[in-house]
Amino acid sequence: MNHGIGSRDFDVDKLRARLRKMTNKQLLEFGRNVRYLHTAEANLRQPPSGLWLTQLWEECAEWRRRLPKKT
């Protein structure tokens, strides 16, 4: 089963749909995992893939959509 993480055929729309289906707990876990994958330690001191950053942005956007700041 292809989850999109690290995949060459990455589709942002599919990721957004998947993130919308996740519970808050699952979304937080996904965010933690992607943040780790964006670190130098996870990439053997090589620059991280832009794919990880895109997934992190999408995770953050979904979180902000779910929990907007109260004014």
User: Which pLDDT belongs to residue 3?
Assistant: 47
Going residue by residue through the chain (71 aa), what tens digit of pLDDT does each one get?
344 455 567 899 999 999 999 999 999 999 999 999 888 888 788 777 788 889 999 999 999 999 988 77
Q: pTM of the prediction?
A: 0.74
3 Cβ neighbours under 8 A, 6+ residues apart: 18
